[in-house]
Structure 1
Amino acid sequence: MKLNDLGCNPKIEEIIKSEQYANFEVGRVVREHKERYFVSLQDGDFEAEITGNLRFSAKSNADFPAVGDWVACVLFDNQLAIIQSILPRKSLLERQAVGKHGESQIIAANVDEGLIVQSADHNFNINRLERYMTICYSAGIDVTLVLTKLDLISKTDFDDILHQLNERGISISIFPISNVSKQGYSDLMTYMRKGKSYCVIGSSSVGKSTLINNLMGYEHLKTSATSESNLKGRHTTSHRELIVLDNGGILIDTPGMRELGITENPEALSMTFNAISELAQECKFSDCSHTNESGCAILFAVENGDIDSASYDNYMKMQREQEHFQRSVADKRKHDKEFGKMIKSVMKERKKNRF
């Protein structure tokens, strides 16, 4: 597979041709599972490992390769690719690491657009949609909603979903599809562009694997039946993988995410909740918390019905979550800095006593 098929563009080509990468094989990470990597190079796909230097110099998860990354490699015995470094990234899609305060988990790198997948029946949840939108905007990428299982709802139900989105002020591209009749697939395929990378994100049981299989035209990913008792499917994707479609569009599949913590980009919340963000400029106090202050334009709009109360509640919840994450990051950096100073002090004292 040629690098152009993997999304290589003039900017990446310019980086590859630079003196810094002249002696390396450059390719894209196409699969990752439990710190095992597979890289697609000009001469084929290779299992890959990272160098010890890259591992030990990493300060956070963001310093490790992720699916979608362009990496510089050295081939060992023409069988194993040793990843030496990561090329500059266009975007980095991430969320809060589950159970780890102040740390992020990388979802994918160099993504152009997030395909947020929700099913039109029991799974549809606007609060969750706003969360997915926010993490995408944090990465500086566009978003599109793919609404699956259209065959399981009536036209009235579908119109109600559109009404809910309108009430919340959400105006993004929507592709309603049916995995049974294949309705909507042609429009989605036409929408996806050659060389563009689309990250498929959503919770379990929304039909992500079936969506990708249908886009590919054959069963590439394993799917599992949905439980009739609780309407929840089992995890069918256990790793992240980059897939090139026949039309040249590039999909990055991800495991279903039950928890989706917001990281520290405040501008992303403003983009998701644009109406609320604009009203905040009209508050009487510049440091308004939008909770109980007199002269709060947002609270006034909520009381008058100009801002949906559920949207306001979700906004405030994510804002508190974001502030907590920022404090956790600051505390972690402070702790690491103090620990580093202590190590330097100990080493200095040992060196002094040695003489």
Structure 2
Amino acid sequence: MSGDTAQEPASLGDNVLPERRINMIEAINEALDIMLTRDPDVIIMGEDVGYFGGVFRATAGLQAKHGKNRVFDTPISECGIIGAAVGMGAYGLRPVPEIQFADYIYPGLDQLISEAARLRYRSAGDYIAPMTVRSPFGGGIFGGQTHSQSPEALFTHVAGLKTVIPATPYDAKGLLIAAIEDNDPVIFFEPKRIYNGPFTGFYDQPVEPWKKHPDSVVPEGYYKVPLGKARTVREGEALTVLTYGTMVHVAEAVCREKGVDAEILDLRTLVPLDIKAIEASVEKTGRCLIVHEATRTSGFGAELSALVTERCFYHLEAPVERVTGFDTPYPHSLEWAYFPGPVRIGEAIDKLLSE
């Protein structure tokens, strides 16, 4: 799928699966339903995921269908949720714990870093931690400082963890299925700003109905999107934009409005990273812009910038540019000024093309 502008049709054997338009929440719910049905070892656990169906309704109806032993509520204890999932994975289950907001994941860091990420190595392969930690992340709902953070860079730094961030309903379903079937622990961050449909993210502009958006076309049934493969959102010659999550839609809207012949790569997974797709694009365009919502200092964009500089230095016609969130605590009332938007992204594009 890397290098292709058109989405490949999902298939099961020789049969192309039927398609229809759904949003990301529905796509995630379908992926969980499919895996609960296919694999009796898959279980879902977390705060309010059972009877209530999750604070964003991602697990709605799953307990009623699959039972309280497969989809169940837990105490408000993130370290307990993740710690229990590590033990379940070592025992042979495939737990899918939900952390209600990414901001709440920090009490479980010790279990993720010291146990889940190291279990395969420290046991010489005798034990694994095939767990997928789902969590809504990022801003866009005026959730304030404790419901809006983007901590993805913390997890990309930990050897043994995989970090996945979908930007479309199609990818959310296919990547989540692939993550659940993976034998290593996966952090699956879901950008809640686009849960109900892809849109530009410009607060003062009307939202494009997701049922008319091409990214909302999702096949029925089982399919996977492989981890470690970037998606070329659009091809171009003038510059490369590296981004993920909500910022895919924002960057695409800015480039379209400015009429810039930009090539946009949706990274999809930060670890494993599709370095070959990045190299091929930057070598073609000679310019690179990195866009992410998280804080600038030590954000994942810094790693991307270093990789591009190391691997594509002699192809670059201008220094790598980054447009990110600011190095401040997350601002509640000013969150739409905090996000990379048309002004800041546009200025970075103009600077790159002028050098």
Query: TM-score band, normalised by the shorter chain?
Result: under 0.3
Computing the radius of gyration from Cα coordinates, the structure with the larger value is 1
Higher relative contact order (CA 8 A, sep 6+): 2
Instruction: Please give the TM-score of this superposition, normalised by the length of structure 2.
Output: 0.26
Instruction: Please give the TM-score of this superposition, normalised by the length of structure 1.
Output: 0.26
